[in-house]
Amino acid sequence: MKFVPHQTVTRMAAISLVGMVVGLISAFATIGFVELVQYFNDILYVSASSRAGLDGGSLALVTITVLTGGGLIAGLTLRYGVADGEHIGPANTIYAVQLHERLPSPVSGVSSTVASIISLGCGASVGQYGPLVYLGTLVGQIANRLPFRLSDVRSIAIACGVAAAISTAFNAPLAALIFTHEVILRHYSLRMFTAVTVASACGFLVANVVFEHPPLFLSEVTGSFRWVEFLLFALEGIACGVLAVAFMKLLHYTTQFAGRIRLPTATKPMIAGFITSLVALQVPEILGAGQEVFGQAKLEGAFTADALLLILLAKLLVTVLCIGFGFAGGVIFPALLIGVLFGALFALLVPGQLLSDYSGLSVYAVCGMVALMSPVIGAPMTALLMVFELTRSYEITIAAMVTIVFSNLIAHQWYGRSLYDFQLRQRGIDLSMGRERAYLMHQTVAGNVTDALPVVHRDISLSELRERMAEKSAESAVIVDGDYRYLGLVLQHQLHDQHDNASVDSIEIEQGILFNETTSIWDAMETMREYIGVAVPVIDSASGRYLGAIPEAVVINAYLDAAQELRREEYEV
């Protein structure tokens, strides 16, 4: 490729402009989202400071009313604001970017964001960072309509929106940068890297310079650890992997159970809200995202082992209940909080009992935080960088690396790469074998059919059939009935020694290999690997009508075009 300085400078300036514009918009939107949630937590008596001013009877009434009513409002917002069949969340962002598919409409995206603010504001046990990922996606989707004059500007804008939202919320621009490439894009092209870096930096500047927004869970952890503790970190990682799998499977089963309940969808979050309120009257720490509990759990002596176990189990159960029954929210922060609680509990029960001198509860709490979160979202590198950015400690980052490795090994073997990938597999999209295969599995043969095979009715003479096959230079012909339903194939060798005046019905019609309108390009390639013939017939699975034929060359070209498009996206500057 010839190097053209002017074009290169113009392209890089446009890419940086996309990152800056989308990054700034996403950052301000993220700050607004977080502040709104905090405002509702205060006025609705969800935060610990606001709840301290109510007596027992009033507190119980307010808690039940707010969570139950909030569940109903959030359910109605999703029911009437989000179009049927449109999935909202990080998994849908991955789907849209990886397969070049459209996202839900901006109206659905805004409605989902509003429902998330309501859910978090009323104290539902859901996370705010999953919605922030989609909020960044929504900003990127809208920014795609601006005249940037770049190829793939939609994917660039979405990636920038996600990175800026996470960078602003976490005050962790490096982790946000890697999260976007590791989870959303799944490649590291220079073009994407440039735009996402600019957007992530913009988010960090807005959070720190414009608003002086403190990190939500900055951890000042000091101290060193003994070599024997590496074995304990590995053990903690294994335990976190098991807990992460249990969390994801419970979430799946709860969602299935909620789907079988014969009640209006809009009322199901109300049920979850009512149950959560009853639990919160006994264990108030489970309310909302839980930032206050997050900070306390890392402190020595803040909770006993019994209290940590109670909060952990209650938080785990109400989180899967709230998300499974339809509250709008994510899983990132609940996973972080459950991990912190488990890490602190592990520190009290294992090194606290085995060693007279160990590195401290906070180290194990931070390691548990990222060891449980990383397999849930499928982002071990993001988790590792998050530890370094939030602790500024190289030693603790090494300890966290051990827990992350073992946690992800366990979760990957027992569950898969992440909760998001599992949600996509339920929709028939498997990214485990690579982006190229998933892309081809999503493209069907129906859009590539040709008239490569002659089509004749069953009652014509063999002489006419021979003429039709000669016109197409075909070795086979498709036989249909009067309603154009596929009956089978007649092959050239079957016409030998047959009388010209005989009809097609006089010879045996073969079914042969068949595709239908849902057959993917990838499946067609696998089927045709040992196929000998010109083309494979494609029929409508419902009516049996013949749609056309798919030649082997068309399948190969479709594969090459898809591979070339993906390689261009990943390597073009």
Half-sphere exposure of 40 (CA within 13 A, CB side): 22
Q: What is the pLDDT of residue 237?
A: 96
Q: What is the pLDDT of residue 143?
A: 67
Picking from 16, 376, 31, 324, the residue whose alpha carbon sits closest to that of residue 183 is 376
Q: What is the pLDDT of residue 520?
A: 86
What is the mean pLDDT of the segment spanning 459-478?
79
Whether the domain at 5-210 and the domain at 439-563 fall into the same CATH topology = no
User: Does residue 571 have a pLDDT over 60?
Assistant: yes
User: Does residue 170 have a pLDDT over 90?
Assistant: no
pLDDT band at residue 188 using 50, 70 and 90 as cut-offs: confident
Task: Evaluate whether 184 touches 6 at the Cβ level (below 8 Å).
Answer: no
Q: How far, in Å, CA of 482 to CA of 470, rounded?
A: 23
Q: Where are the domains of the chain?
A: 5-210, 229-433, 439-563
Quickly tell me which residue has 């309509």 as its tokens: 145
What is the mean pLDDT of the segment spanning 337-356?
90
Q: Specify the pTM.
A: 0.84
439-563: CATH topology: CBS-domain (3.10.580)
User: Does residue 469 have a pLDDT over 50?
Assistant: yes
As a whole-number percent, the residues of the chain with pLDDT over 90 amount to 32
What is the mean pLDDT of the segment spanning 415-437?
83
Picking from 342, 292, 338, the residue whose alpha carbon sits closest to that of residue 316 is 338
Q: Note the residue count of the chain.
A: 573
Picking from 479, 478, 484, 496, the residue whose alpha carbon sits closest to that of residue 534 is 478
Residue 278 identity (one-letter amino acid): L
- Of 146-155, 194-203, 225-234, 341-350, the poorest mean pLDDT is in 146-155
Structure tokens at 190: 């220079």
Other beta carbons within 10 angstroms of residue 123's beta carbon come to 28
pLDDT band at residue 221 using 50, 70 and 90 as cut-offs: low
Give the contacts of 129 (CB within 8 A, at least 6 positions apart). 166, 169, 170, 330, 332, 333
Between 34 and 215, residue with greater pLDDT: 34
Query: In this structure, are strands 535-539 and 455-457 parallel, antiparallel, or unpaired?
Result: unpaired
Of the segments 137-146, 346-355, 436-445, which one has the largest average pLDDT value? 346-355
Which listed CATH number (3.20.20.80, 1.10.3080.10, 3.30.70.20, 1.10.260.40) goes with 5-210?
Answer: 1.10.3080.10
Of the segments 140-144, 217-221, 262-266, 307-311, which one has the largest average pLDDT value? 307-311
Q: What is the pLDDT of residues 44-103, one digit of tens each?
A: 999 888 888 787 788 999 999 999 999 999 999 988 888 776 667 788 888 888 887 777
User: Does residue 135 have a pLDDT over 80?
Assistant: no
Q: What is the pLDDT of residue 121?
A: 93
DSSP states of 417-469 as a string?
S-HHHHHHHHTT---TT-HHHHHHHHSBGGGG-B--S-EEETTSBHHHHHHHH
Q: Which helix (H) or strand (E) holds 97?
A: helix 90-99
Q: How far, in Å, CA of 295 to CA of 221, rounded?
A: 12
Q: What is the pLDDT of residue 1?
A: 46
Q: Which CATH class is domain 229-433?
A: mainly alpha
Picking from 533, 509, 560, 541, the residue whose alpha carbon sits closest to that of residue 452 is 533
Residue 89 identity (one-letter amino acid): G
Of the segments 5-9, 193-197, 264-268, 270-274, which one has the largest average pLDDT value? 270-274
Task: Evaluate whether 452 touches 472 at the Cβ level (below 8 Å).
Answer: yes
Q: What is the pLDDT of residues 483-521, one digit of tens each?
A: 888 888 887 777 776 676 777 767 777 777 888 888 888
Q: How far, in Å, CA of 295 to CA of 220, rounded?
A: 11
